[in-house]
Chain A
Amino acid sequence: MRVKTYNLVILALILVVAAHTTRAESEHSQEYKVKAAFLYNIINFVDWPKEKVTDGNDLITIGIIGTDPFGKTFEPLKNKQAKGKKVLIKRFVSLKESEKSDNQIQAIRKCHLLFICRSEKEQLRKIINIVKDHNVLTVGDMNDFLESGGIVNFVIENQKVRFEINNNAAKQAKLNIRSKLLRLAKKVIGEDTSDKPEN
């Protein structure tokens, strides 16, 4: 068997890198930078009930529950506003951790938009059930998200980010999704009955 020395060196290097790679400061993928920007944009195309947006806080809250794939991507939002309000990012480690405290569950319910990470896939239906009567726009990027009651799901098609909308779930959450967003969606479950003017 002919074995070239440098080929063995390459194989050894691969194994060493795989086994002993330290957690260098990682650059979060472009995919999640784009998805973060989508979350910010989507806010402008959704109408919450009056009581949700006039609850005394001059804030729009984006919650992220699970293993956060966004990292520092949301930092530029410190200087930006959506719907005339500042944007606050709140992170929740997991549903399991959050259930240990009533305050945490209340904080999740107060979010205007809740991004449910893939690490919470097993808890997906439970999370949606917890927020279902609290006008929360649930967003995810996993299989069966809409079928589980989620409202907006990101998918990748031809290396570009697309989104699908469950308008039935949005109506159950008393959210109005504007027709422009519905038209841009790859798939919409439920009718477009938006009667609000466009942006």
Chain B
Amino acid sequence: MVKIKAYIFIIIALSLSGLITSQAEVYGQHQDPNEAEDFFDMSIEELMDIKVSVASKKPESPIEAPGVVVVVPKNEIELYGDRDLHQLMQRQPSVYTGHSFAYSDNLAAFRGDMSTHQERHTLILLNGRPIRESALGYSFPIYMAFPLTSLESVELIRGPGSVLYGTNAFTGVINLKSRPVPEQYEVSVFGMGGSHEYYDTTVSIGGRSGELGFITDIRAAGLDGYPYRFTDQYGVYGDDNNFNKSISGTLHLDYRNLTFDLFAADVDIFTMGVIPAWSNFHHESHNKRLFANLGYKIPLHERATLELNATYNLQEDILASFGTRQVGTNTSDILGEVTLFTNPLDNLNFVLGFLQEYRTNYKSDDEHFQSIPSYHYAPRGFYAQSDYRLSKVVKLIAGTQWNKSPLGDSDFVSRYGVILTPYKKWGVKLLRGEAFRGPMAVESDLYDPGFFTFTGNKNLEPETITTYDAQLFYHDEKSYAAVTYFQSKTQGMIIYDIQGSDVSYTNGGEQQFDGVEFEAKRSLSPHFNALGSFMYQNNKADADLDPSYVPENMAKLGMDYTWDGGSVAVFCTHFGKPPSVPSPIPGNPKTEAVSLVSLNIRLDMSKWLDCPKEQAVLTLRAENLLDEDIYVPSFGQGYFPYGPGRTFYAGLIARF
């Protein structure tokens, strides 16, 4: 693939915008209609179905958003029956999911970016606020335990997001958006059971009392475990149950201009530990997460709103280490942020913000070796972003964030681009974005002596990435399709520095990945819908880096049929064969291409139970229908089993 230098990209973008603007202004004079006239011919029901971009707020439709965005609405989550966020991610365009020997279901990588078994390049937000802790940077408790019943939609942004969201928004951002507060009290109970003693019980409550609105979802889920068998690097063949269990919950409150969000999870999982060896005494990990955000909106003017947010993230993690040891890391981080949203003109939006974070860790009462000595860091950042609709056809975007990392480095990252919509249904996005990932405390401050001595490196600099996206999109009342060429270059990747039995971290070289992705959704008839995606990517890395082990290609296809009494949905995720990795263990099966097919049937029981529509819904689900054996690669370690074979589940939701 051809490298595009920055200045050439700018010249192309400006030339195109100038050319298309001049053509489209001529076109506009002859262009039919006035879109408003079309609206006057619509009925109220049809008008209620139109999505609008609200000029005074940041949320935008995917067409208008300054990024490559996919929105997964609640009804799609229910149709396809995603049991957790990791399953939802597996269905999304250009996302490769897997897990490492250290944590289950912890990897959801965007495009070609997965060169370590610790995924720290995707930032997860809850209602726009980061769920991010400073020691390890892992998201697996959220992937596994976040109650999807609490959500109205999930927004996925492919590409750099650091201008607005800071560190870890490297190749992807996931924004979990809470469902709206119901005006009348609502209670629902969901129960599901399935293969390998799987269980999931979720209670959802919501309502409004005067000006106070709330929704809460409490979930208990887990499974006894599927067989986890492989030969470790010491030649020992072992067998255990890959189990997990979790209790989690969310709470969303709103009172006038105040909002409060809470997410808490207590997760126990099977793990091989810091090094995958059957000789380790412990094969379980325990993780507690607490996220809380208090937000306050101050309307300054009908065109300006000030938002104040205080975000708290806590984590307590216990991971199996060598021999009989377990290591603990406990963090407590506070982030204060002030953001000004303005639209001084109908065609101009402007966001200005400042954030200050305080990161620290603490020793818990448990008698676990604290592998990260005490630290205190205070990173801060300042950001600004603007989008300006130059004409009916051209929208310009520009933004920048200045940040000071925990270790004292400061730098700017920027994004800019243009969205061209010369025709009613077609458009082009040309985007350039930068992002960074500051070192986590485990990389800068770690001290874990043992057979291998792990130490941090306080001289680490942030990883950086520059991404170009060129997207052609089409949309009408029934469909959306887009083809995107992307090109990313990462620098200064934080990698292991192994000197004998001493293991530390260092900034490594460059990695480049580029490729093409195609995605589409289409309503084929009032009852029949389809969606799908395809990605091809190409990767290369400097000699000191492990290349990414995302497959060169992946394809996903889903179809659903709905009728008055229920729905049937089938989804197939195909991951091509990942690159071969050197393996110290020749006996374990290698990763091959896999096709994961799931079937989800929902039946409305209202007719049989003589109750209102949708008050009782039965779900029947089957996963990995082709009974594929799945292994995932891990550089330096070989291949590890991932996922059970074919599984079945049945569930019921009752609403009161």
Q: Is B48 a contact of A184 with CB atoms below 8 Å?
A: yes
- Binding stretch for chain A, among B96-104, B287-295, B345-353, B598-606: B345-353
Q: Interface residues of A toward B: which range?
A: 35 or more
Instruction: Judge if A34 is at the interface, Cβ distance under 8 Å.
Output: yes
Q: Is B411 a contact of A34 with CB atoms below 8 Å?
A: no
Instruction: Judge if A157 is at the interface, Cβ distance under 8 Å.
Output: yes
Instruction: Report chain A residues within 8 Å CB of B8.
Output: none
Which A20-45 residues have a C-beta within 8 angstroms of B? 21, 23-24, 26-31, 33-34, 36-38, 40-42, 45
Q: Of A4, A31, A42, which one neighbours B54 at CB under 8 angstroms?
A: A31
Instruction: Judge if A91 is at the interface, Cβ distance under 8 Å.
Output: no
Instruction: Judge if B302 is at the interface, Cβ distance under 8 Å.
Output: yes
Q: Is B346 a contact of A29 with CB atoms below 8 Å?
A: yes
Query: A7-B413, A76-B40, A184-B45 given as contacts; is B34 within 8 A of A21 (CB)?
Result: no
CA distance A181 to B44 in the complex (A): 9
CA distance A159 to B152 in the complex (A): 12
Which B259-276 residues have a C-beta within 8 angstroms of A? none
Which B519-562 residues have a C-beta within 8 angstroms of A? none
A interface vs B, CB < 8 Å?
1-4, 6-8, 10-11, 13-15, 17-18, 21, 23-24, 26-31, 33-34, 36-38, 40-42, 45, 67, 69, 72-77, 80, 118-119, 121, 156-162, 181, 184, 186-187
Q: Interface residues of B toward A: which range?
A: 35 or more
Q: Is B52 a contact of A160 with CB atoms below 8 Å?
A: yes
CA distance A140 to B430 in the complex (A): 38
**Nearest neighbor of B347 in chain A, beta-carbon distance:** A26
- The prevalent SS among residues of B at the interface is mixed
Instruction: Judge if B47 is at the interface, Cβ distance under 8 Å.
Output: yes
Instruction: Report chain B residues within 8 Å CB of A187.
Output: 183
Q: What 0/1 pattern do residues 331 to 344 of B give for CB contact below 8 A with A?
A: 00000000000001
CA distance A43 to B384 in the complex (A): 43
25 contacts between A and B (CB under 8 A): A3-B412, A6-B6, A7-B413, A21-B388, A26-B346, A26-B347, A27-B346, A27-B347, A30-B50, A30-B52, A36-B36, A37-B40, A37-B47, A38-B47, A41-B47, A69-B346, A74-B36, A76-B34, A158-B153, A159-B51, A159-B53, A160-B49, A160-B52, A162-B48, A181-B44
Query: A7-B400, A27-B346, A157-B180 given as contacts; is B48 within 8 A of A33 (CB)?
Result: no
CA distance A181 to B47 in the complex (A): 13
Q: Is A30 a contact of B348 with CB atoms below 8 Å?
A: no
Q: Is A31 a contact of B53 with CB atoms below 8 Å?
A: yes
Q: Is B37 a contact of A76 with CB atoms below 8 Å?
A: yes
Query: A1-B410, A14-B399 given as contacts; is B48 within 8 A of A161 (CB)?
Result: yes
Q: What 0/1 pattern do residues 385 to 419 of B give for CB contact below 8 A with A?
A: 11011111000001110000000011111101000
Which B23-58 residues have a C-beta within 8 angstroms of A? 34-37, 39-40, 42-45, 47-55
Instruction: Report chain A residues within 8 Å CB of B49.
Output: 160
